[in-house]
Chains A and B, each alone.
Chain A
Amino acid sequence: MDRESKSGQKTFINDLIIIIAIVIAGFALQIAAGPFDYSIISFPVNVILLAVMLLLLLVKPSGSIGRFGSAKVSVSLLAIMTLMCLYMGIVANNGVKTSWPFVLIYLLILINIILVIGKRIRSFKWSDYGFYLNHIGLFIFLFSAGLGSADMQRYFMRVYEGKVEWRGENTKTGELTDLPVAISLEDFSMDLYPPKIAIIDKRNGETFPAEKPALMESFEGSYGNIGEWSVKVDSIKDRPRVAPAAYIIAKNKNNGETLAGWISCGNYFQPFKTLDISDIYCFAMTFPEPKRFSSKVEVFTKEGLKKSGIIEVNDPLTTGNWKIYQYSYDTNKGIDSEYSVFELVRDPWLIPVYIGIFMLMAGAVTLFWKGGRK
């Protein structure tokens, strides 16, 4: 081993001691100060931290701070982060996200990445574009997603049909506050999948056969086999505000026995109806599952913006700095729900996050384009 790598070894051990010391300090802070409160890094603290980190680009790679950008440090930090995430992935209610050691390692990773970038930039080559896309993209993404999350505001808003609402419930604290956005709900609507027909074990409510439940779609004229029964749907009752019901004719394939009658899944004011086969088994209808639900709304902001549109799952509405998501509805009443629940999100760091994602995506393409070639 020559002298340079020997001294490299020594600085790495120093760096490792620093990392371990920081983790231990994190645990101490955890005990002394309790879980990490993200609001302490909200604006302007996160922007100041960003400025400090960008200054690290100027640090000399061979100096004592610059050495923290070595590959050994990167690998150690990545390994520690992976271990923490293993804990997060196995233990329920683990609180890792809000723990000091996690936050500190996250910050060290950001510092390490910025130093690595600073080092590489000194011998800039266009052919390193894959490296830059991946590492700068990762830095932008990790910074904006991690430290930017402190500036994210999220509220639930429950709006009744024909009413206007401007109060939102903070998703974390549950506090009710007046928001700069108001929503008027013109209509909440829902499409359902047809309910299904099953044989149910009356003792425990489980579908039959237990291992591989056989469910049959129910619409007029549909037919199918459940166990030893061949079932045909003779007619369907499906009117607004009335629980769906089907008149079925079931024939036992073994002994020719025939059963017929109405079955219904019931709803919030009508009882369900089953068709008995024996003391144990009966034909029953499952609740229809939602296919699509959406809210026709008009949105107003304090600045006087007005926007109308339809909000549904996977299709939020953007107005000013806010994005409005379809979140929920009255699940007891389902299709007859008289209100709609929205989630309102304001994330000032969203654009940098998308820039980071875009760069990483391009970086991923270079990974499978170039393979392992250096």
Chain B
Amino acid sequence: MNWNEFIFFALISVVFWYTGVLSLYKSKSKWMGDALIIIGLLVFGSFIVALWQSLGHPPMRTMGETRLLYSLFLVLVGYITYRRWRYKWIMAYSVAVSTVFIIINLLKPEIHTTNLMPALQSIWFVPHVTVYIISYAMLGAATIGAVIVLYKGTEKRMGYFELIDNLVYIGLGFLIAGMLMGAVWAKEAWGDYWTWDPKEVWAFITAASYMLYIHAPKAGVSRKNSLWILPLAFILLLITWLGVSYLPAAQGSIHVY
């Protein structure tokens, strides 16, 4: 299995996901949409498993590989949230955003098979990256919710606040867990748990802005106003994930790939 076959798996998954979302809205069947989405997830997941096997190491090394995982986890998180809260839009949006990342991976793969350097050969590698990607997916979903409320107003959407808060708390929990695992790993690999490396600085900025969102209502900021923090925080998150390598401060960072 290699990246040349990705397009087939991606196409099949996307077709399943879109017909799945469509039948959530249109079909009277209770299980049709769920079944289609789950089949799509299984097809996409099987590509990742096969790729993992053929690489001999987890596909988390290159930018393209992290985007691949994001495409999967975003739909998975969207589906779980849909099952829990019954918001069809979150399913639709997560499929749409996932498609964007699939298209990026098809057009600009950034996947030159790189060997796994010694520092990455650690038991922390897989949990560190996975937890981060899950967190990004949660916070992405929260951002979608925030943008909808900000755009359409708060009337009749009070339930959204609960959903958004849940997603942010869970996402931040995963984000902090990922950061701490990274710290423990860094201590084993480089002798220090935190060195203010540019990726670490940006990871901190991201976490701090979500902490600001959580604490703002306690400081008297209205819930509606504090929602503005979420799209901003998500932009910072995207810089942490995708943009750090392009920043002047990051030249010579150990985290740039």
Contact = CB atoms under 8 A, between A and B. Distances in A.
Given A360-B176, A364-B177, A368-B170, A85 B249 contact: no
Interface of B: 109, 112-113, 115-119, 121-122, 162, 164-166, 168-170, 172-174, 176-177, 180, 183-185, 187-194, 196, 198, 201-202, 204-205, 208-209, 211-212, 215-216, 218-221, 244, 247-249, 251
A82 B205 contact: yes
B169 A367 contact: yes
Contact of A89 (B187, B209, B249): B249
A314 B209 contact: no
A82 B208 contact: yes
A89 B177 CA distance: 21
Nearest to A211: B108
A212 B112 contact: yes
A117 interface: no
Nearest to A344: B191
20 contacts: A70-B219, A71-B219, A86-B205, A88-B249, A89-B244, A90-B247, A145-B193, A215-B112, A292-B121, A313-B121, A325-B190, A357-B183, A357-B193, A361-B177, A364-B173, A366-B173, A367-B169, A367-B172, A372-B162, A372-B165
B115 A289 contact: yes
Nearest to A207: B112
Nearest to B162: A372
Interface string A57-89: 000000000000011101100110110011011
A232 B164 CA distance: 56
A145 to B, nearest CB: 6
Given A82-B208, A89-B198, A345-B191, A314 B170 contact: no
Given A88-B249, A325-B191, A371 B170 contact: yes
A89 B205 contact: yes
Given A82-B205, A82-B209, A292-B118, 19 more contacts: A70-B219, A75-B216, A88-B249, A89-B201, A89-B202, A89-B244, A90-B249, A92-B249, A94-B249, A290-B118, A291-B115, A314-B185, A315-B188, A354-B184, A357-B183, A361-B177, A364-B176, A364-B177, A370-B169
Give the interface SS of chain B, mostly helix, strand, loop or mixed: helix
B249 A368 contact: no
A81 B196 CA distance: 13
Interface in A309-324: 312-316, 323
Contact of B208 (A81, A291, A363): A81
A337 B198 CA distance: 31
Nearest to A288: B115
Interface in A337-374: 343, 345, 350, 353-354, 357, 360-361, 363-373
Contacts of A293: 118
Contacts of B201: 85, 88-89
A367 B176 contact: yes
